[in-house]
Each structure stands twice: as C-alpha cells, then as structure tokens.
Amino acid sequence: MLFGLLPIRKLQNLVVWLSAFTLMLCSSLLQAADVNNVRIWLAPDHARLVFDMSGPASHKVFTLSKPDRIVLDVDKAKLSTDLSKLGLDKSPVQRIRSGKNGNTLRLVLDLKRPVRPKSFELKPNQKYGHRLVLDLYEKETLAKPTKTAKPKLVAGRDIVIAIDAGHGGEDPGAIGPGRVREKDVVMAIAKELKYRLDKTPGYKGKLTRTGDYYVSLRSRTKAARKHNADLFVSIHADAFKDSRAKGASVWVLSSRGASSEMGRWLARKENSADLIGGVGSVSLDDKDNVLASVLLDMSMTASREDSRSVAKQIHGNIKRFAKMHKSHVEQAGFVVLKSPDIPSILVETGFISNPDEASKLKTRGYQKKMAEAIFKGITQHFSRKPPALTLIAQQKADIRVHKVVRGDTLSVIASRNGVSLSAIRKANNLKNDRIKIGQVLRIPAS
C-alpha cells in the first residue's frame, strides 16, 4: 500500500537501491574464506580430506590424467595452513600443491593411483565450523556391483557377530569431560568384544570399521550382510545437555521403524540384488509384491524376536555392575537396527556427558566389564538358540544327559561315556567330583 502512494520515479530509484543492497549483502555473505586446517582420514575403500574453512565457499572439482591429478578450486579463498605436515604416506595422494588462479585458491592433488573424487560442503555444528570434504574412492570400488550368490552353508561354521563401533574419523561422537571421545571409547569396547568372541570356539567377531574413519549408517549394516552376520551389535555412549543424566541402555528396533524399513525394501526391490533371511537367504528381485511382503514380514519378525532375546540378556548382565537408564530394553527406529534379516541391537554403554560415567568409560577395566557383559549376553542367547549347521548347534545336539544312580561316580560316568573328567566337570560347572543320586548331568561329545 505504501509503494502505491510513491511517485513512479521514486519507486524506480527504490528498486535500484534495493537491488544494489541485495548484491552487496550477497557479496558479503560470500566473502573470502580461509582454509585454516586440513585433516585426512583413511578407510579401507577411500581416503577423506577435510578442509576447515573460516566461512562458506563455493568450489568445484575435476580430474586430469597423464599424470593422474585432482584439482580442487575454492572461490575467494586463501590457504592459511601448512600442507606439508599432512600425513599422506598410506593415502592415494603423493602430495598437494597450492596456487592462485585469480581470486580462486587452486589445490592440486598429485596421485599415486587413479581414484574417483566426491566433494561436498558441511555447515557448522556444535563441534566444527564450515568444512569442505573431499572423498577419494579407490578404483576397486568403482566397478559396478554384480549379483552374486550367497556362499553355501558349511556344517560346523562359526556364529558371526558384526561389531559396530559408532562414529569414527571426522565424527567423534559425543565428547565428555576431559575431552574423552565417544568414538575412542566404543572402539576399545568393540575390539575387546571381538577378542573374546575370536578366542571362543564357534564364534567369530567382525568389525564394521577397523580404524579411526567414518562409515555411513547404511554401510554399517551392509558390512554386516557382507560378512553373513548372525547378529549385529552397535556400540555407543550416550550424551545429554544435562550432565546429571546417566545410565546404560540397550535398544532394539521399534514397530514403526520395522514398518518403514519394510516399505523401503519393497519400493527398491526391483533394482536391488539384496537378499533377506541372513546366511543362505533369498533374493527379493524376482518375487511379486505380495510374496516379497510376506517374506520380508517373516524375516523381520524372526529377526526382532531374536534381537529382543539378546538385548534382554545383555541388559541383565550390564545392570549387575552399572546403573541402567531404564529397567527394560528400549525401542527406537535407529537406522543401524533396520536390517530385516539380521537380529540387531544397540548398546548405549553410559552417558559420556556425565562426569562419573565418563571417568569409568575411559578406563580399561570398565571397558572390559562392558565387553564381557555383551559377550555373555551373546553366548547365552546362542547357546539356547544356535543357528543351524553351526559348531554351537552341533555341540548342543551332541550333548546327552545322565541321571545319577546309586553306585555312580563321576569318573565311572566319564569312562562309560568316553569323555574326560575335566570335560564333564566343565559341561556341568562342577568345582569337584561330588555328585548326588538323582542329579542330571550333561554329557559332552567325546
């Protein structure tokens, strides 16, 4: 209404002035940005370069060959860090050179081998300012994936546990008092859990990340499927703005999360080589919608039942030495819990934002306690319900029972069944050789 009362000439001048002001504002928002620091993270399939920027900056990336190079141009930027100190030894980058092309900062990456670059910008968060990320994917990962059949089941195989240490690399997770980082704590617990599994006959632990680098949430569940995992265990440490919050927790997938994942799988099944049903599973891509829906529902129902069973065991084990956030297993729609065919749980080992729990979580002794609680929960579940054709299933089938009668001694029973005294003691958790009439003993395989 106000503009309608102004003379035409004044209105035109106002429009010109507003346009000039807008241009000035935009140019101020895109003012020169400094590259204050560069970090590199090495993963098995790619290297990640992270450029810490003083502000937002547009960029472009292109490749050159003979020799292989990657060029990163950053508009209105200048380099304020020393690139020679960047550790490139195990990366695909030989060296990084810098120069100016007008107002553009040009960074040239001389390569040891061809890679595929992928770049993106990240806005500031609670831990970092503006960042420019350049991922360099190894050549082997560029090949188009082909459909491959799942390996056949082998009698006496190990039960495979995918162990997922949360966060990593550029993502430290929650940071507690004394700068203790979630990614470090959970990696230590994950490695301790793997050690316990690997030294136990019939079990094998597989880490979704083996070092300090970032793995996307979907890639973590893909890694579990690649390893033909029988169980997926994601390990984290909680945080909250109130430092008084405390307690460990164990999580499984919620009903809503299960429904959304079923919808996602059904929507993409025609272009997917994904399989369901765990080891020895079946493909969805040749099934009609009704059959695919039934198969998914059956697979996810069984997976969620096993998830709850393992989670309950672990919850009970942790509460013996730690405060629990809730008195029961909790449910949520976490992405890492959404494998339709792999029982999956998430363990929050405590609140790293709580000073008392942070001081415990960073100690070796407490990390071992947490790993042992998770390990026992896993073996307790699978000793009752081992997957078919596994060594644990064979051992369970081979165990017989004997009811003690008058005149029986432990040595006589062992000799009669062709097993050693130590084996029969171990199978029955006996501290000595005393037995009672009517006592039922488990007789292990000879």
Contacts of residue 264, defined as CB under 8 A and 6 or more positions apart, other chains included, come to none
Instruction: Look at residue 146 and tell me whether its pLDDT is greater than 60.
Output: no
What is the average per-residue pLDDT within 419-429? 89
Nearest one of 308, 312, 307, 315 to 373, comparing CA atoms: 315
- Look up residue 199 and give its amino acid: K
348, 248 Cβ separation under 8 angstroms = yes
Quick: pLDDT tens for 290-333: 776 777 667 788 889 999 999 999 999 999 999 999 999 999 98
Q: Which residue has the higher pLDDT, 291 or 128?
A: 128
Quick: pLDDT tens for 327-370: 999 999 898 998 888 999 999 999 999 999 999 999 999 999 99
Angle between helices 364-384 and 289-318 (to 10 degrees): 130
pLDDT at 143: 44
pLDDT at 140: 61
19 pLDDT band (50/70/90 cuts)? low
Write down the pTM of the prediction: 0.75
pLDDT at 342: 92
Quick: pLDDT tens for 72-120: 999 999 999 999 889 898 999 999 999 998 889 999 999 999 999 999 9
265 pLDDT band (50/70/90 cuts)? low
300, 254 Cβ separation under 8 angstroms = no
Domains of the chain, CATH where assigned: 33-141 (2.60.40.3500), 159-384 (3.40.630.40), 399-443 (3.10.350.10)
Share of the chain above pLDDT 70, in %: 81
pLDDT at 163: 98
pLDDT at 345: 96
Quick: pLDDT tens for 206-230: 999 999 999 989 899 999 989 999 9
